[in-house]
Amino acid sequence: MEPIRYISTNRDLPGGHRVAVSFAEALQRGLAPDGGLYMPDRLPRWSPTELERLRGAPYAGVAEFVLRPFVSESIPPDVLRRICEESYDFEVPLEPLDDGVWILRLDRGPTASFKDFAARWMARALQYLSRGERHTVLVATSGDTGSAVGEAFRGLEGFRVFLLYPANEVSPVQKFQLDHIGENVTALAVRGTFDQCQALVKEAFLDPKLAPLHLTSANSINIGRILPQAVYYVYAWLQIARDAGPVTFAVPSGNFGNSFGGELARRMGLPVARLILAVNANDEFPTFLRTGTYRPLVPSRACLSNAMNVGNPSNLARYFDWYGGILTREGEVKRAPDLEAMRRQLDSVSVDDAATCERIRRTWQERRVLLEPHGAVGVEAFYRLGAGPRPAVCLETAHPAKFPEVIESVLGFSPTPPPSFERWAQRPPAVEPMDADYSALVKRLMRDA
């Protein structure tokens, strides 16, 4: 069978890049030469029998099964097995919430965020594929991505890592994590919004002057971040769908990479009843589903669920592609997707800060389940849609201890930090302030290159 190759979401635009590339090239490039996002040119299909054979497999084993066909051309089976086992050495529990409803706790990794799942796998895959070549990893983060990527690459020889984050839009705990990674990782505290950080990163990838730096991105624009996020949908389904029936997933959504992992799994044969893309007050996508008109929010709206403060989700271009449309990185619709098909498969609900806090309070008082703001948005979105169909899984994307101020204000106590938090307190800061200016970014990247 021919290996899966990767193509640009902009391939049908004038000047679009139509060449299909290997996983190794897509991973190391980050963006396609035309500014599009890489997509697999075809998908494997799982039979019910294949899925049933996975029951009882450890998380690393499920990851190996899901990822093998996507990387077969670039990563040998024994190396893939080792990468998965090294990446997933922590638990992935499901916590009961309601009758037929579970919380998938994706907060048990080294930075207490779901971003650990993709960042750890991607870092190890890139290290294997780089063959000693020096790379500069450039990341825009609205919160948890940066610390997860920084921790995944920390100390890896041949990699310089720069984490751009909006200085005034991350929580104090997130800022502390970002600023205290160190070694080969530098945090850049940008005086601006996440969307500005993201625009700076995208511009750098299209700048031929920076080609000698061998830039790669660990943002969810990179296919190496998307593919591993399909795994936990399969793993969760295996734990709860005893009759092999469909499951509803409610996904806190910012840049839409997390939910796209669910779309990927669904298209490969995972029985998914509904995929709910839960957003905060940045409601550009539910507005689009309702009206058919897409308008990015500029600037994005600041909310308690700060990692979701995204006014123009990068991975929406991937959704458009699979539903027959084209969306540019600036948020311009070049070809409309099949909106009715989107509506049949996807729901999207906007949840404001007041409703987020009320969901945290109710869930704790009624169920003694502790949510943080992002997970609360997902749970609230599920119940707003009539609490069905079930069984259902709501993704909890970060540890509540990353948002102690919010939990304290709503519930009157601070969550107990996980043991992984102790390491940051023992490190010196490695952070530099920066204006939201492209020339300033270039100057910093070229220093010590």
Supply φ then ψ for residue 105, to 5 degrees: -85, 100
Per the CB < 8 A criterion, the answer to whether 230 and 262 are in contact is yes
Determine how many CB atoms are found less than 10 A away from the CB of residue 341: 12
Residue 326 host element (H or E): strand 326-327
Per the CB < 8 A criterion, the answer to whether 303 and 281 are in contact is yes
Which residue in the block uniquely carries the two structure tokens 């450890």? 58
Beta bridge partners of 350: 279
CA-based nearest residue to 252, from 95, 104, 414: 104
Amino acid letter for position 116: D
Any idea which residues carry the catalytic annotation?
115
| Tokens found for residue 133 | 């070549």
CA–CA separation, 65 vs 67, rounded Å?
6
Per the CB < 8 A criterion, the answer to whether 171 and 403 are in contact is yes
| Tokens found for residue 366 | 């009624």
CA-based nearest residue to 138, from 166, 120, 161: 161
Which residue in the block uniquely carries the two structure tokens 């997390």? 258
CA–CA separation, 146 vs 430, rounded Å?
13
Per the CB < 8 A criterion, the answer to whether 249 and 392 are in contact is yes
Per the CB < 8 A criterion, the answer to whether 71 and 51 are in contact is no
What is the DSSP track for 260-311?
HHHHHHHHTT--EEEEEEEE-S--HHHHHHHHS-----SSPPP-SSGGG--S
Determine how many CB atoms are found less than 10 A away from the CB of residue 237: 23
| Tokens found for residue 201 | 């990163």
